[in-house]
Each structure stands twice: as C-alpha cells, then as structure tokens.
Structure 1
C-alpha cells in the first residue's frame, strides 16, 4: 500500500482540506453588479426588457439569488436611479455663483440622461425614498438655492421646472438631425422653413436649444431670489 502524507490523509479522511482553485460555483452578486446588468438590459432592450427574470439571466444566477439582494423591480430601479444621479456634477454649488452652479448641474444632468433615455419616463416619476445618492444631489442643490436667496417654499418647484426641461432636452440629443425638415411641404410653410434653415450652425442643434432654454430659465428663476413666497 503506497504511503500517504499527513496532508493527503487529512484531506481524504475529513474532506476539509485546502479548497481547489477555480471558478466559484455561482456568480458573486452585489448591488453594483445588479445595477450594471440592469443598465445593460435597458440599453439593449428598453425599459420593458428589464424584468427580474431577464436580470437574473443576465447575471447568470437563479432568480432566488437575485431576490436575496433586491426585493422587487422597484428596488432595481432605485439602484439605477441612484447610480445615474451620482454621476451628475453638483460640485459648483457652494464654490461658484448660483448661475454657474445651475449651468454646471443642468448640463451634466442632461448629458447623463441623454445616454439613458429609455429610463427617463420611469425615473422622472420614481419616488426618491430610500435613494441616498439622489437625495444627496437634491440636498446639495436645495442648499445652493437657499444660500442664493431663494424662498424655501419655491425651491422644489424651481428644481422640478429645471428637471422637466432637462429630461425633455435629453431626448432632443438623440433626435434625428432633420427632425424639423418640412420636405415637400416647405413652400406651404415658408416662415417655419426659413427659420429652420437659418438656425443651422456649427454646433449641435440640441446643444444650441438647450443653452438657449437654460439661460432663459436661469434668468427667470433668478428673479425669485430675495423674494418672499
């Protein structure tokens, strides 16, 4: 009978020897991985393609394993919302003028969501309860408005007005370049046709429109500063 080393005997006799190197038997799940997979699903299949079953398949785990981390699709959406909101730049609040801070925040906000337009209809109406990064963004922006002299009771309405414009403008980034081309109806609509053709310039039309609208909002909302509600 061949000799058996002490280590080999321990392994054979108890089954508690050193674990063999290799891939784990199941994927390791965490919230960051779930968020990444959800964003990938939405980018490929749209919001309707984001289901718990599809997400589990994307992550190569059983649905029961997924439910150990998120209780529902709403929980997944909160993770996605929080991730996207964490990418929005709010650093100018407290370090620059209110106008420049709003510009930095709004342009960043638009650019983040222009990359994820299928999620806008959902996230725009998703309650922010239990979304720490989203609440942190609103906290920073609210303080910036308050410090700039906005009446406290008008801050949320001002933010919503800006967000409505930002979300709509995010869609505009992905619109076709000829969206306003009247085609064969050009002669029947001469004023609009002339306006469309005279608006052509070196920059992206979506950026030009966003800049124009944002400056109008900043100017209009700025008039509220120092006013009582």
Structure 2
C-alpha cells in the first residue's frame, strides 16, 4: 500500500480549525459574508491599497478564481463592504422620535461606525449606492424621516450630503492625536489660536457633549472630538431645521 504524503496525513490547522486547501472552497465556507469580513480585515491591516482580489483570496485561502463565483470585481467587494457598514448605522429613531433627535441619533451612529473604518472613507464617500440593498434601505428611511418632518423633497439629498460630509470628517477627528493643535514653540507668536486651543480643551474636560444616551460618546464626555461633533451637529440640525415647512 503506497505511503500517504505527510501533508495529507496532517492537514495544517489554525487555532484547532482545519484550514482549507486553496482552490477548493465550497459554498458553505466561501460566501459574501465571509468575503466582506475578510475585506474589512485586509483594509484594517493594510489600508485600502492592500485590498486586492489576490490578497483577499490569500486571506480566505482559496484560489482567486473562486472569488469570482461570488463577486465579479473589486468594485463588487467594495459594495459588499459599504452595504455591511451602512447596515450598522442606526436609523431606528426616524418615525419614532422628533426629527432633530432622530438626526442626531443617526449622525452619532454613522460617525461611530466609520470612525472604526477610516481607511474606507475616501472610497465609500464616493461609491455609488446602486444595487446596495442595506445602503439604499438606510437612505430610504432617512429620506422618509426628512419628508415626514416637513422637509422640502427637493432639498433632502443635499441635506443628507451636507450631514455626511461633516460626519465623515468627524470620523477622522475621532482618531486624531489629542495634541493635534498644539502650537509648540510657536505658542507666544500665536496667542489667539493658543488661547482658543486651551479653551477648547477646557470645554471638553467640562463634559460638553450631547451624544444620545446609551452611546459610547455619552459615557465618555472627555474627548475633544465629541465636543466638536456636538457643536457642529447642533449647528447643522438648527440650520437645516429652518428649512422645514410649518406643521
């Protein structure tokens, strides 16, 4: 009886889980959810440039050709990622709470989701939503919430884009260094800016935040990023609210 090759006698394992041989996936182990999770892991490790079909196949331990049974291109992978992230954004307050409270809850949730995935912001911010069901469902709920609150239909998309522009920038701010505005040795030559920086720090330390109850930010009011987000969001909600039609 011929000897069985050692590689077949003792298949490689990872944490006690048998690893798949490349090129032989089954639908049970390779699906869109798994592809999405792997894509997020790759971006988290290597940034957007590290997300390639070859790298994705390697992480999933399949042949690149196997991926194309589920997605036709990197663009399809990005749509899966976008849809997953947008499904995490909380829109439940629209229709259940006053418009301004609903917008705040949505915006805080949106910011917190993308603060965890900032390398994807430049991509997803300009990625078409075509054929992305969870993303479209999110926008549908928000649009109806705006319309039901008396917002002019022709201004809804512009309002959402304005809020998203602020949200994406604020997501970056969450990960910014605490001393990003430290003037260093130039403090004496920039007295107004330096005083403003010190004042902003004092505001954050006093807990200036109006994050919705139950959110991480509400329990952690010391971050300057939260104070800045609260201030900007309040201004946007107040300004956009002025466009609503009287009941």
Question: What does residue 206 of structure 1 align with?
Answer: 225
Indicate conservation of the 8 Å contact 2:20/2:61, yes or no. Answer: no
Superposed CA RMSD in Å reads: 1.2
Count of residues in correspondence between the two structures: 206
Matches within 5 A, 1:61-72: 61-72=62-73
Question: What does residue 237 of structure 2 align with?
Answer: 218
Structure 2 unaligned runs (5+)?
A: 1-17, 206-221
Greater C-alpha radius of gyration: 1
Give 1:123 deviation, angstroms: 0.2
Query: What is the TM-score with the length of structure 2 in the denominator?
Result: 0.82
Matches within 5 A, 1:50-199: 50-199=51-200
Question: What does residue 14 of structure 2 align with?
Answer: none
Structure 1 unaligned runs (5+)?
A: 1-21
Tell me which stretches of 4 or more aligned residues in structure 1 moved more than 6 Å: none
Query: What is the TM-score with the length of structure 1 in the denominator?
Result: 0.88
Distance 1:30 1:140, change over 3 A: same
- Paired with 1:57 and 1:24, the residues of 2 have a C-alpha distance of 11
- Paired with 2:188 and 2:128, the residues of 1 have a C-alpha distance of 48
- Paired with 2:241 and 2:152, the residues of 1 have a C-alpha distance of 11
- Paired with 1:34 and 1:108, the residues of 2 have a C-alpha distance of 24
